[in-house]
Every structure is written in C-alpha cells, then in structure tokens.
Amino acid sequence: MKKTIFSILNGLFLLSILYTFYGTLRSSLLDISNINDKVWAFLLILFSIICILFIPTNTRSFIQKKLKQFFAFFKKNIAIITKLLFAVGIILQVIILYYIHVPIGWDVDGIHASVTELVKNSPDSIASIYLSKNPNNNLFFFLMYFISQIGNFFHQSLGNSWMFWQLTNTFFMDIGFIFIFLAAKNLFNKKIAYLSFYLAFIPLALSPWMLVVYTDTIMLPVISITLWIYSLTKKKHNNYLVIVLGGLIAISYLLKPSSIVFLIAYSMIKLFNLLTDPKKINLKKVLLITLLFCLPFAGTMKLFHLFEDHQKLIVLDRNQAKPWQHFVMMGLTGSGGFSEEDTRATISIPTKEGKVNYASEKIAERIKNYGFTGYTKFLMKKHFNNTDRGDFGWGQDGSAQIYVQSNDPIQIFLRDTYYQQGEKVKTVRLFMHLMWMITLVGLLFVTRKKFKNDQDDTLLAILKLTILGAFLYLLLFEGGRSRYLIQYLPFIYMLSANGFYLQFATIKKNKKALN
C-alpha cells in the first residue's frame, strides 16, 4: 500500500512538473525577439562547440580531454572554488547595489515608508494605515524597523536608506544560500548540497531580486534555516531541537502564511507512515515530539499577538484588515493575481464581518459563473501564470524604477541591465529562465528514483508533496505571477539537486557496466 501511495504521489508530481515545463517553453521570455544580438553570438559559439563534440576528430578528443581535466580540477577543489565564488559574488553584490540601489514601489515601498516616516502611536501614520489593511506584513515591518534602528545607531538616517535596505535584503539571500547547502548536506550528502547551492546561487545571487526588500526574498533564509534545524533533528536524533523548529515555523507562518505547506506536507506523510507501519513507530516518542513542536509554535504565535496588542509604535484597526477570503476572491479573476478593483471594494467595507461576507459571496458567484469546465481551464492557465517565468516575475509588479540621470558609464550599463525598463534586462531574464528550466529538468529526473521504502523515500515524498501543495495554494489564493514561488525555492532546489545526482549516478553506473 505504501509503495502504491508513494507511486501515485510520484505520478502526480511528474505530471505537474511536465505541465509546468511545458508552460516555460511557451513563456514570453523565450521569445527570440527579446534576445540580445550578443547573446545570439554566444549561443552560436556554444552550439558550434556542441557540434564539434559530436564530430569524431582530433579536435573533439582534445576538447573532451580538456573538459575532463577541468571537471576533475573543479571536483577536486570544489570546496575552495565555491568559497571563492561566494566571496566574489558578495563583492559584486555590493558594487552593483552601490550603482543601482533605487526605490521600489508597491508593498516594498509601503513597508519602507512605514518604517522611515513612522509617527509613533498615531492612527494616521503611514504604518498604522498600511498595516491595518495588511496585517500579514506586521512581523516583517517590526523586523525591518529593528534593523533600521541598528543602521541609524551607527549613522543618522543610514538605516532608512534604500542602499542599506537592499544590502540587508542581499545579506538575507546569501544566508539562505549557505543554509540551503548545510541543510542538503545533512539531509542527503555533500554532492547534493553543492548542486543545491549552485542551483540557487547562480540565478539569484546577482539577480534583480537584490533590489526587492520583501517577504519573498526574506523567506529564503527563514525556510533554509528551518530545513537546517530539521536536518539536525534527523542527523543528531535530538528531539529537543524540535522546540526550535516549532518557533521557526511559527515565525515563517507569521512572515508568509503560505509557507505553512511544508508543515502540512510533513504531517501528512508522517501520519501516513504511522498508519502503514505502526510497528516501526514509537507512539510515546511521537506524542513527545508533537508536544515539543506544538507548544513553542503556539507560544510564538501567542507572544507575537500579545506584542501586537501592547506595542506603542502603531495603532492597528482590526476592522480594516483584508481577510483571507479576499485573497481567494482575487485569485478567481483576471490572471489570478492582484486585483485593484477587488482591493478597493474590500477596503471600502467598514467592518471585518462585512469584508468576509462580501468576499465569500464573490467567491461563490465567480465559481458558479465559471462552471466546471471554465474553472478547470482558468486553473490551468493560472498555473502557467504562477510558474512559467524563470525571472520570477521581475518587473511584473510595480512601475518602472525612477532615478536621477547619470553620466557614469558603469551606472548607465548596470541600470540598463537591472531596471525593469532597461533594454539589457531581457538578457538577465532569459538567463534566469534557462536556469529555471534546468531546475525543472532536475525535478523530472527525481521522479525516476526507485522505491526502496527507506528514509530518502520519505524525505523526497515530503518535498514533492510540499511543492504540489505550493502549486495548489497558489491556484486557490492570490497568484498570477511566479514571484510567489521564491518562498518555495529551497525545497525546489534540493529536490532538483537530488534528481541531477540520481541521473549522474545512473550515467556513471551505465558507463562502468559497458566497460
């Protein structure tokens, strides 16, 4: 029965990734008119090299020999090379941000303005107005307020500058890369850890997402550290680390409620294991771990809400808060993403109960109007909108970046490369999209693993179910662009790395068999 259920899960995962990959092939990012002439030249050279490799000549043998030497050197010195690349990446991040730091609009600007223009304990302050409507960003606001105060301690107004905020954001992203590696090493092995690291580092480290100081990128270190703590509980068999894990997942939920899908996936797989292999489960141990997790989880949630009620920075009007039904309602119209019309309608209703009733009525009305066939088609199209862009929707939200003109050729070049209205940003988007397609290929490879009823099967099942849960969550709630995938990338990269590791191991095994 366990093999059957895991096979069904694997089959559903395979179908979803195949459909997702099909969507990436249809993406506008692969429109050849968007590709820079210089990129075409590079692709032509790369294609020529690949062609040469298939020609049985001395040139082919020479290239193969050099490539083998290069990969052997890289493999032998991968630790020091990775550290050097990471250090160089950090230096480049600082240099790039020095030239391109710029205000970012929408919710990012809402949080920044809330912190920098804070009038303490005033119902008319930007913070009070914004956070009353968007209480899901409360913890993020208090976090950035605390960080800004640290910056201001060292230099007046430093903590309120966009340069400081975007450096902080990039610092968080870098922490995420480190803990993706550490978590993958503990959960699997070093090879998978390096693959996970590079799948994350290459497309994201120098991407435009350095500029976007928001919960999407902040979730990279939070989720990665959570996975690392989880890996320590497995590696060291230390049940008391579950206490830390409970607090971390509560923080993750408070920052980004949609991140809770990992906990749901984990609970479902563990419960299924309990039902199918009851003899292997120590019930007392399960109850102890559940208690050790639930108490800090509930305690962290309660403490934060108590803090919200007693803090003196902002005044929260609970009647202004958008209910979760509002986000389901928005997810049922247009592209399945943000709707200005729905938002205005919800905000205009004075009471929380009224907002819930209005959104619930609209949800029922829209589903009825779609009908079964129409709703299915809508969800299929929405999934493309949620997953088909490897740049994770850079520039889809907000307006073009506003900046002071410059005569510095480096600044002009970098702005043209990174800002959403820049001409060269098409190349960055294409590169990120190709890396996303490579990542999806790894997810396809992992479905080929044979079932052995071991710990790896359980762990991979949790990761697969997490990703399926993420896809489902984005179908039911506000989605419409691939930005929402960023919070799930640690799971995606680790699972993709497992797929490539499995594929490389299979190729190596087949070569040995032939020899």
Distance separating alpha carbons of residues 446 and 500, to the nearest angstrom = 7
Dihedral sign, Cα of residue 81, residue 84, residue 90, residue 92? negative
Q: What pLDDT band is residue 472 in, cutting at 50, 70 and 90?
A: very high
Q: What is the mean pLDDT of residues 132-136?
A: 94
Q: What pLDDT band is residue 363 in, cutting at 50, 70 and 90?
A: very high
The verdict on residue 84 lying in a domain is yes
Distance separating alpha carbons of residues 279 and 275, to the nearest angstrom = 9
Q: Is the pLDDT of residue 415 over 70?
A: yes
The verdict on residue 9 lying in a domain is yes
> For the chain, what is the mean pLDDT?
90
* pLDDT reported for residue 395: 79
| 238 contact partners, CB below 8 Å, separation of at least 6 | 232
* pLDDT reported for residue 40: 61
* pLDDT reported for residue 57: 56
Q: What is the mean pLDDT of residues 113-134?
A: 91
Q: How many domains does the chain have?
A: 1
* pLDDT reported for residue 502: 93
pLDDT digits (tens, 9 = 90+) for 167-201: 999 999 999 999 999 999 999 999 999 999 999 99
Q: Which residues of 364-390 are buried (b: 16+ CB within 10 A; e: fewer)?
A: eebeeeeeeeeeeebbeebbbbbbbbb
Q: What is the mean pLDDT of residues 3-28?
A: 93
**pTM over cut 0.75:** yes
- Which of 58-62, 220-224, 282-286 is predicted most confidently? 220-224
369's tokens: 């109007």
pLDDT digits (tens, 9 = 90+) for 236-293: 777 789 999 999 999 999 999 999 999 999 999 988 888 887 666 677 888 888 999 9
Q: Is the pLDDT of residue 58 over 70?
A: no
The verdict on residue 58 lying in a domain is no
The verdict on residue 376 lying in a domain is no
* pLDDT reported for residue 72: 86
The verdict on residue 332 lying in a domain is no
The verdict on residue 255 lying in a domain is yes
Q: Is the pLDDT of residue 124 over 90?
A: no
Which residues are paired to 314 by β-bridges?
122
Between the CA of residue 110 and those of 114, 138, 281, 396, 398, what are the distances in Å? 6, 12, 49, 17, 12
Higher-pLDDT residue of 496, 270: 496
Q: Is the pLDDT of residue 319 over 60?
A: yes
Q: What pLDDT band is residue 43 in, cutting at 50, 70 and 90?
A: low
- Least trusted range by pLDDT, from 429-433, 450-454, 462-466: 450-454
Between the CA of residue 63 and those of 59, 74, 95, 97, 507, what are the distances in Å? 6, 16, 35, 38, 20
* pLDDT reported for residue 71: 82
Q: Which domain holds residue 244?
A: 2-34+77-310+388-468+496-508
* Strand, helix or coil for residue 123: coil
Instruction: Please give the span between the terminal C-alpha atoms of the chain, in angstroms, as a whole number.
Output: 39
* Strand, helix or coil for residue 492: helix
* Strand, helix or coil for residue 141: helix
Query: Cβ distance 331 to 363 under 8 Å?
Result: no
The verdict on residue 221 lying in a domain is yes
The verdict on residue 351 lying in a domain is no
